[in-house]
Chain A
């Protein structure tokens, strides 16, 4: 036990949920092996959220399987622990061996969400590591980033030595190999970065030349890609407290607002046999009481029925449950409703009218919404519905359409079940035009308009019995769009916001709109610049990132949206988005 570990133990009883900080989860790999390079994964949110992240578990497993490398983890300490660390002069430490972040060869941040940018700085600050890459010499680790936000890395690029664009499975290992070699040969940091730049998917901000593009890293053989069949088993309850099976990557639906749907193309499925095998191994190795299937649109998975059939005897024998999240209405069957045994059903029509659903290419028809009746027959009494407000071309009629859907479900329920206790919870987020989607050029509606539309919907829903309504903060949505579509000029704004106290921005109790508006003002930058419509011929900060899907395709999709013309699901045939130049879409 090192000294830091002892010091931490003494602090633990004065903070909330001490088990967040002790590690020692079941299945933590061997941390004592001789390693040529050590990596520390940093997740800029608390343990319970970070531990639920599948991407991080996959990469952690891959590095630790390698005989030469070790990966540890570090989650953002909640503010109480952050303060204790400062008071006691303890730097931010890895969970497994209580090693200061500074002592690793590579520190890699998983950036999942724009509102976590301030927390990246919070963690660097606690670790005693300067924010800007240019201020860090060879005595510091290589600080890198990855995760969904790398789709437009520019706002945070100045903080990192390198950024992995796309899927890290192969890139992270290559990166460690090169870092280990560089160490052995005594290369300087710049020399190492020059080597890293050669890896597919690795963007080195300080070395990018004019006109150069970075091609996203893609796992080509997804079927045989390593999978964490010995998942870490947390000691406290986390957000996704179960074994997670990834069925496929990418999405065939082509919803025009959905960044993940485009970013994770090409579409690659794993066979049902393999998934079932992984599922059994995971349960046997972890003891989790539940398997959840994870993919962008799980019920579209070709082998879903086969997988269910393969796993059923095992599930019954072990007395565990199989959860089927985010079902698409179109592939919803009564059997699924029954076998998933959940208390509440979740659907995401996203928009209230067929017209608007055509615009966003959410191929859920009015008729299919009627399919929810099958769930009522199967015994469900509660439905959760997800919508977005502020979508391009949205009118008040579209918004009131949400209330119409609720009314329809209610009468359907009464008709089938002959009683009136259906509860419907409607959850609305605000549309955020995201990079690398057909809507990347769109404007976001103004704050006042967001509030007006929320009020309109709230009033309409109030008149329907059994409906509850919740919505996401309007101000955080504004910040999200600004950071999502930002450029390098925003890095100093993020630093300024952190200096003014921003952290845990994704937590309502910590988010402060005043801090951010102040930070923008102090840096002389107008948020409005990033919120309005972007002209189609303008260069975009993320144009140098090649995600496979071409800009021309995105633009074409945008124009189809305005005509209300839908694009077919890729499972019916390739739409020519361009992603297959990076790997085969296995569903075709």
Chain B
């Protein structure tokens, strides 16, 4: 199995997760990368993705595991010859089996396009957002794992996976509480972490 690490930025950041799943299948087909299919009445390509991204947010740490016999260098090169600029592969890894990144996800790092500032969240951070047709208020404090200075910008580590915190909701909360003007479309996800035996590990290291 080959795992590609790829970006989802520029125009591609507006592709929804569902559309992306379909899209990657098409990319692999036109790239001539053979993908193994599941058995059974309705065979589907054996592809495994990292958790869905929020629409409009850039990511430089998306992963897809591809069940193929082709070697990694060739997959990487063929993939990059068949994708629009926003969806470029930036690294590849070889694994024995499906690394189950989605299932193991615990957190992710994001950079918000606003000068670094410290904000209080440990004693509670309430945000209000629309879910379906209802307005929901939620305390997201326990889903914020930390903040850091990312070359002068505000970096945050947020829960990802089952217990996911959508970064756009945090950004909207910060805009409201601190009078900032963080644009969702300029946020960038820069790293994805998984839980391996109770430890939070960058997917890149986990796959090495």
Contact among A24, A26, A288 with B10 in the assembled complex (CB-CB below 8 Å): A24
Confirm or deny: B177 has a beta carbon within 8 angstroms of a beta carbon on chain A: no
**Bound-state Cα–Cα, A23 to B85, Å:** 12
B37 engages A319 (CB within 8 Å):
yes
Which residues on B sit within 8 Å (CB–CB) of A26? Answer: 26-27, 30, 82-84
Which residues on B sit within 8 Å (CB–CB) of A237? Answer: 18-19, 22
B30 engages A319 (CB within 8 Å):
no
Confirm or deny: B56 has a beta carbon within 8 angstroms of a beta carbon on chain A: yes
Which residues on A sit within 8 Å (CB–CB) of B16? Answer: 19, 236
**Bound-state Cα–Cα, A286 to B82, Å:** 9
3 closest Cβ contacts across the A-B interface?
A24-B11, A287-B26, A287-B30
Q: Known: A10-B185, A13-B185. Contact between A235 and B27, CB under 8 A?
A: no
B residues contacting A by CB (< 8 A) are 10-12, 14-16, 18-19, 22-23, 25-32, 37, 43, 55-56, 82-86, 168, 183-185
B19 engages A19 (CB within 8 Å):
yes
Q: Please give the number of chain A residues whose Cβ is less than 8 angstroms from any Cβ of chain B in the complex.
A: 25
B26 engages A288 (CB within 8 Å):
yes
Show 29 residue pairs from A and B whose CB-CB distance is below 8 angstroms, ordered by the A residue: A10-B185, A12-B14, A13-B184, A13-B185, A18-B14, A18-B55, A18-B56, A22-B11, A22-B14, A23-B11, A24-B86, A26-B83, A233-B30, A235-B14, A235-B19, A236-B15, A237-B22, A283-B29, A283-B30, A285-B30, A287-B25, A287-B26, A287-B27, A287-B29, A287-B30, A288-B26, A289-B25, A289-B26, A319-B43
**Bound-state Cα–Cα, A386 to B92, Å:** 51
Residue of A nearest to B57 (CB): A13
Residue of A nearest to B85 (CB): A24
Within 8 A of B (CB), among A100-117: none
Which residues on A sit within 8 Å (CB–CB) of B18? Answer: 237
B183 engages A10 (CB within 8 Å):
yes
A235 engages B26 (CB within 8 Å):
no
A235 engages B12 (CB within 8 Å):
yes
Residue of A nearest to B43 (CB): A319
Bitwise, A305-349 to B at CB < 8 A (1) or not (0) is 000000000000011100000000000000000000000000000
**Bound-state Cα–Cα, A9 to B10, Å:** 10
Q: How far is the CB of B185 from chain A (nearest CB, A)?
A: 5
**Bound-state Cα–Cα, A394 to B125, Å:** 70
**Bound-state Cα–Cα, A586 to B88, Å:** 47
Which residues on A sit within 8 Å (CB–CB) of B84? Answer: 24-26
A residues contacting B by CB (< 8 A) are 9-10, 12-13, 18-19, 22-26, 233, 235-237, 283-289, 318-320
Q: How far is the CB of A230 from chain B (nearest CB, A)?
A: 10
Which residues on B sit within 8 Å (CB–CB) of A235? Answer: 11-12, 14-15, 19, 23
**Bound-state Cα–Cα, A24 to B87, Å:** 11
| Known contacts A235-B11, A287-B82; 19 further A-B pairs (Cβ under 8 A) | A13-B168, A19-B16, A19-B19, A22-B11, A23-B11, A24-B10, A24-B11, A24-B12, A25-B84, A26-B30, A26-B83, A233-B30, A236-B16, A236-B19, A237-B22, A283-B29, A286-B26, A288-B26, A319-B37
Residue of A nearest to B29 (CB): A287
Q: How far is the CB of A236 from chain B (nearest CB, A)?
A: 5
Which residues on B sit within 8 Å (CB–CB) of A289? Answer: 25-26, 29
Residue of B nearest to A233 (CB): B26
Q: How far is the CB of A280 from chain B (nearest CB, A)?
A: 12
Q: How far is the CB of B168 from chain A (nearest CB, A)?
A: 8
Q: How far is the CB of A328 from chain B (nearest CB, A)?
A: 29
Which residues on B sit within 8 Å (CB–CB) of A12? Answer: 14, 56, 185
**Bound-state Cα–Cα, A320 to B30, Å:** 12
Between B14, B25, B29, B31, the greatest number of chain A beta carbons within 10 A of the residue's beta carbon is seen for B14
A19 engages B15 (CB within 8 Å):
yes
A286 engages B30 (CB within 8 Å):
yes
Which residues on B sit within 8 Å (CB–CB) of A233? Answer: 26, 30
Between B26, B85, B86, the greatest number of chain A beta carbons within 10 A of the residue's beta carbon is seen for B26
**Bound-state Cα–Cα, A287 to B29, Å:** 5
Residue of B nearest to A18 (CB): B14
Q: How far is the CB of A2 from chain B (nearest CB, A)?
A: 14
Residue of B nearest to A19 (CB): B14
Between B12, B22, B83, the greatest number of chain A beta carbons within 10 A of the residue's beta carbon is seen for B22
